[in-house]
Structure 1
Amino acid sequence: MQNPLTRLARLGRATAAALALLGVGTGATLAQPRSDIVVGMAIEPAGLDPTVAAPVAIGQVVWQNVFEGLTRIDGEGRIQPQLAKSWTVSPDGLVYTFDLAENVTFSNGVPFDAGTAKFSLDRMRATDSTNPQKQFLANVVSTEARDPKTLVVTLSKPAANLLFWLAWPASVMVEPGSAATNRTQPVGTGPFKLGEWRQGDRLTLVRNETYWNAADAPKLDGATFRFIADPQAQAAALQSGDVDAFPEFGAPELYAGLETDDRFETVVGVTELKVVAGLNNRIKPLDDPRVRQALMMAVDRASLVEGAYSGYGTPIGSHYTPNDPGFRDLTAVHAYDPEKARALLAEAGYPDGFALSIKTPQMAYATRSAEILQAMLAEIGVTLTIVPTEFPAAWVDQVLTRHDFEMTIVAHAEPLDIAIYGRDNYYFGYDDAQFKAAIASAETSLDEEKRLEAYGTAQEILARDVPALFLFVMPKLGVWDARIEGLWHDEPIPANDLTSVSWRE
């Protein structure tokens, strides 16, 4: 995914006020290199166990830093071995045999072995599991600890994405004795462990001195995560030196000013952050595909990206990013056409439009996007009322769990997560047999060409039916002290992996 704006165009948008705020060219004296780092995040996680709850902020703190998985995803999006050194797959794709790393211990001193891995996977797929991705293991028939270093996983049908799914934060390995308390006292096999968590302010990680993987031991002694929701405050924290890095900077209108300040490195990277305006397909008038299609045709995606995210971002026509395998550009399906949208509403029985409410998380991108959608939908007679909704707690309760909403907006951050539209009772309330069949084919086919064709079909079905308004992919607007090395430039999975981070001398 390439950012559609040139550097010159971005610089042209920077206001004098922004430049003054950021203090460009102040020539301030830089601090000496350190062995710790302060990382800013917009959202504070509600807990620290990614195996029991969905919000991505959890993994952004603990994945790879505190917890590790059998496999991992690297900064380029590739699957790499981790607690599983290697694996073999039977010719029919039904049996995975993992050769596990030896001499691995959790931060509390308990050894990791095949029994621990079996426990972790069985806990993830248990009937009473609250794991947000438990459906990934729905095809698992059995797990077997053949010996301390050999784990065997047997499937009922092939799972082409299994090694990818096992690399997600939701699939990390947990120590059985600490599983019940990982939400506040996480215990993992990673290079850091929890130091202190001052809820509402900051969380500190300290080096795990007994970390098993000496070859990949961290260069930092510790890290502090600061939770700063307001974009202007994020800029101020960077400017003052209170924060060393914002891997996901939340003020795109100020970003061009940061690009001209040689104290900072700025990187516009790609992400999996698909901004969609979810529609409750269970309720009238949103249960009518003509209404949903009309809403999509009322949206000028290019103008929305410009207004909501200062032009940074790529419009999308389905729940898929240009980074994903088999991507199809479907923005021409139900393209911007207010006149046709009004005619379609009239055909559906709403010649005078109707009223909707949109539950909007407090993140700046969501608020700005909702305000622009409000103006655009008004052009076709739809009155949109914005309802601010605290994220994650209130949003998860009202939208994700109880489906108490008409419309909402959120960035779905997980990679290759198009299958969420096929989940029973998911918040969209979308149920289409053709879509489910396409996803099943994509996830079970061992033939790559057939697999990508099935993903293409799934994209096209969503673009046609519009269970959500597909808006744009957010970029990773990274900004950090220019002397810092090792932070991810792209974001193939939501993460703040600190394992390779250091300061230049």
Structure 2
Amino acid sequence: MPLELNRRHLLGLTGAAATVPLLAGCLDNDLPGQTPEGSRQITVGASDEPQVLDPIANAQAAIPQVLLYNVYETLVKVDNNGDLRPLVASAWTISDDRLTYRFTLHEQATFASGTPLDAAAVVSSIEFLRAAESPNTGVARAMGQIASVAAEGDHTVIITLNAPSLLWLYDMSSTAGILIDPAGQDTMADRPMGSGPFAFDSHQRGTSITLKRNESYWGTPQRVDTIVFRYFTDPNAMNSAMLSGDLDIISNLAAPQALDQFGEDRFTVLEGYSTGEVVLGFNHTNEALAKKQVRQAINHAIDRQGLVDTVWGGKGQMIGSMVPPSDPWYEDLSGTYPFDPERARELLAEAGHATGLTLNLRVPTLPYGPGAATVIQSQLNDVGITVNVEEIDFTRWINEVFINAQYDMTIVAHVEARDIVAWANKDYYWKYDNPDFQRLVAEADEADEQQGYELMKQAARILAEDAAADFLFLLPSLVITKNRVSGIGNNVPSLSFDLTSVATRSS
């Protein structure tokens, strides 16, 4: 979880595999999400169920996957290409000193409850988030950069920052910028209230979340009536549900080895990019892992392409640092530590760990986790490192690994966009403390675009060369839809599984 990295940036799958099935009449009567004949329903199969629905208090990426843009809107949003576009704000300007943002709101905007989404409501929402003390580092960072927020009339909001920021507006297109109905600020955990084209209807724990059409939506009309996110713990069961007609979309295929099953006669395969870096994270407070040579040895010992071929059906890009190709400061750093077991053994000997090094690898039971752990355990054993693998559910992972740093190594996909900045937080669960990296990120954020991008490239190179982690691969976006479903993007540039334009035809 975070652009800074926050827990919600951590996802089970790149954003939690979401599957949108589309059936009004194909579901059995006792299945959740059943709607009357003739209604337009999309069912979404997903692999990571939200434990609560408050994206401010909980960093689970499955929450904004369902709610961002679909239920909670923002002033600006990220489109399928990763570019910022107007949403509740019809336009905005930035002052010459890059401190003051003036947002012009759509005059017709309202919350689903009917409450006007005017300048006063935007100010109330932002002030609520500023006071929230969120564990989400993305929210905390974006709110901490705001010096003041004020309404100017009914349809203009002025936000002033403490210092210029290259990343702030982009952050506001995600969870940090959600606009919350004033009546819903106390009900976020179980009854989210926003202004999006869909409104929260129900959460059947262990089974599904249902969204219903917002009948008074102020923007472009929806083309479906009901969306059901249906949850699967077994990716093969999700694939079977799609093949049998119970699902209309798999938002991100959790078993890429099964891709050939979805032939062109019934299905459409949309392959694109995500922002989900699958990271073998190191706890830098561990005595051995605090040594650069040990971290370098681990990077040399792991055949990353072989791991992708084994675990993810060969689908997944080598990256080498915490930067996907969609980021403007991307460069290919995947060759920094090529697969070289002999060099790994030499580095371990230099670090005083030629024999006897044992590390605990705690992985969440997410689709890529256990399989990747098995490959890594074998390859590190080949260079003399004993790895004890423990599989834990994602809730335990959040509490024990992410919050309390009770681990030596772990594997998780960080799906928040532009989350390289998380490495500048020395208290983040990696406990990585590099003053040079921190300085570069801070300078980049206050720099103009050209200089900022170059500084971020330098920061990415530090992470790679310092072997701060082993950046295993970038999760692809593999979307499967029934041929009659349209309006789904092929990329996953944000935490949202964006269903705001989804449509279906009857045949």
Alignment of 1:212 with 2:218, yes or no, is: yes
Asked if the contact 1:203/1:225 (under 8 Å) is kept, the reply is yes
For residues 342-386 of structure 1, the C-alpha deviation after alignment (integer angstroms, 9 at most, x for no partner) is: 111111111114111111111121111111111111111111111
Q: Partners in 1 of 2:324 and 2:38 — Cα distance?
A: 37
Residue 177 of structure 1: how far off its partner (Å): 2.5
Partner of 2:16: none
Asked if the contact 1:47/1:183 (under 8 Å) is kept, the reply is yes
For residues 155-200 of structure 1, the C-alpha deviation after alignment (integer angstroms, 9 at most, x for no partner) is: 1210122221111133200122211211210110011111221010
Pick the aligned partner of 1:231 from 226, 229, 235.
235
Partner of 2:81: 76
Pick the aligned partner of 1:403 from 402, 405, 408.
405
Partner of 1:382: 385
Q: Partners in 2 of 1:469 and 1:131 — Cα distance?
A: 24
SS at match of 2:368: helix
Partner of 2:447: 445
SS at match of 1:500: coil
Alignment of 1:37 with 2:38, yes or no, is: no
Structure 2 gap ranges (5+): 1-24, 28-36
Partner of 1:300: 303
Alignment of 1:125 with 2:125, yes or no, is: no
Partner of 2:246: 242
Q: Partners in 1 of 2:176 and 2:94 — Cα distance?
A: 22
TM-score with structure 2 length normalisation?
Answer: 0.90
SS at match of 1:490: coil
Q: Partners in 2 of 1:170 and 1:200 — Cα distance?
A: 27
Identity of aligned residues (%): 35
SS at match of 2:430: coil
- 1:51-450, aligned counterparts within 5 Å? 51-126=56-131, 128-133=133-138, 134-213=140-219, 216-258=220-262, 260-391=263-394, 393-446=395-448, 448-450=449-451
Choose 324-333 or 425-434, whichever is displaced more: 324-333
Q: Displaced runs of 4+ in structure 1, greater than 3 A?
A: 29-34, 129-132
Choose 29-38 or 412-421, whichever is displaced more: 29-38
Residue 127 of structure 1: how far off its partner (Å): 6.5
Number of residue equivalences: 472
Partner of 2:8: none
Residue 453 of structure 1: how far off its partner (Å): 0.8
Partner of 1:14: none
Q: Supply the AA of the counterpart residue of 1:417.
A: D
Asked if the contact 1:488/1:496 (under 8 Å) is kept, the reply is no
Residue 129 of structure 1: how far off its partner (Å): 3.3
Q: Partners in 1 of 2:39 and 2:330 — Cα distance?
A: 42
Q: Partners in 1 of 2:62 and 2:293 — Cα distance?
A: 36
Asked if the contact 2:267/2:483 (under 8 Å) is kept, the reply is yes
Q: Supply the AA of the counterpart residue of 2:189.
A: R
For residues 413-434 of structure 1, the C-alpha deviation after alignment (integer angstroms, 9 at most, x for no partner) is: 0111100000131000001111
Residue 324 of structure 1: how far off its partner (Å): 1.3
For residues 476-503 of structure 1, the C-alpha deviation after alignment (integer angstroms, 9 at most, x for no partner) is: 1111211100111111113221111111
SS at match of 1:163: helix
For residues 32-87 of structure 1, the C-alpha deviation after alignment (integer angstroms, 9 at most, x for no partner) is: 99611111111101122223321111111111111100111111211011111111
Q: Partners in 1 of 2:167 and 2:353 — Cα distance?
A: 43
For residues 129-161 of structure 1, the C-alpha deviation after alignment (integer angstroms, 9 at most, x for no partner) is: 344411123221111122221111111210122
Q: Partners in 2 of 1:127 and 1:240 — Cα distance?
A: 45
Asked if the contact 1:353/1:380 (under 8 Å) is kept, the reply is no
Q: Partners in 2 of 1:83 and 1:424 — Cα distance?
A: 35
For residues 313-352 of structure 1, the C-alpha deviation after alignment (integer angstroms, 9 at most, x for no partner) is: 1112111112211211112212211111111111111111
Partner of 1:49: 54
Structure 1 gap ranges (5+): 1-28
Asked if the contact 1:360/1:409 (under 8 Å) is kept, the reply is yes
Q: Supply the AA of the counterpart residue of 1:187.
A: M
TM-score with structure 1 length normalisation?
Answer: 0.90
SS at match of 2:271: strand
